[in-house]
Amino acid sequence: MAELLFGTGGSPHSAKSASTIDGIERIAELGLGCMELEFVQGVRMGEAGARLVAETAVRVGVKLSAHGPYFINLNAREPEKIRASQDRILQTARIASLCGANSITFHAAFYMGDSPEKTYGTVKKYLAEILDRLKRENNRVCVRPEVMGKVTQFGTLEEILNLSSELEGVAPCIDFAHWHARSGGFNSYPEFASILEQVEERLGRTALDDMHIHVSGINYGKKGEISHLNLKESDFQYAELLKALKDFGAKGILICESRNLEEDALLLQATYGAL
């Protein structure tokens, strides 16, 4: 991608209606560049709807990504829950592809009391099956497990970078607010820069040229993330992150998940633009 685009997770609050089409049009009106389709309660969009979404996004010049359902756990105890989780990721990828999105993200798993190593092996195995299937379907959507904010959730920065380097078709979705909440650190320029250095070292320059980033204000405790906030109500040093992204020439999409969505997305875009 040629630049770093800013947008919202889901339709902006100020859209005419909650419909995806109105959301995409509002993104363009606001002068933002991208939007994440939130399939978090399930993939309820049909194929015809997805084609309309794709047309709209192309017409107004908005880049799309998609977020898979919350009810995904590739480390579930019951085999049927694993299958259902795989199906939800596949469904997200299929509809996202019809929408013209080239990147999907999702919350991969919970540790469920297993060691991180054992969980990693399980997630990797079931994710590989998904990639295999998508390849056979000729679906080229980039599959991006997200860096997660709670200590019970699979998805440390290292786990996500490891999956990305070991599985073809996988790349990271780096949620910098989650990582700050989970680690209690990673809230300064040198720390943000160290993450970007790691991305380049592990995955190559192309990974920095095509990033999928989440940012929001965040409230957290000992076990990590508690809730999303607006940036100015939180301690998240977004200006430092933006400076690091700019200095590293990071490109791709930056999705704002603050409660106020477009307000913070515009704040991020303006702050970045003024650097």
Give residues in contact with Zn ion (CB under 5 A): 146
Residue 215 CB, nearest approach to Zn ion (Å): 12
Tokens of 80: 């049927």
Closer of 146 and 264 to Zn ion (Cβ)? 146
HEC per residue, 199-246 = HHHHHCHHHHHCEEEEECEEEEECCEEEEEECHHHCCCCHHHHHHHHH
Closer of 25 and 175 to Zn ion (Cβ)? 175
Closer of 23 and 25 to Zn ion (Cβ)? 23
Residue 149 CB, nearest approach to Zn ion (Å): 9
Residue 69 CB, nearest approach to Zn ion (Å): 11
**CA dihedral sign of residues 84, 88, 89, 93:** positive
Closer of 9 and 169 to Zn ion (Cβ)? 9
Tokens of 164: 């990305």
Residue 107 CB, nearest approach to Zn ion (Å): 6
Please list, in sequence order, all residues whose beta carbon lies within 8 angstroms of the beta carbon of residue 107, skipping any fewer than 6 positions away: 68, 70, 72, 145, 146, 148, 153, 155
Longest alpha-carbon distance in the chain: 51
Give the residue nearest to Zn ion (CB): 146
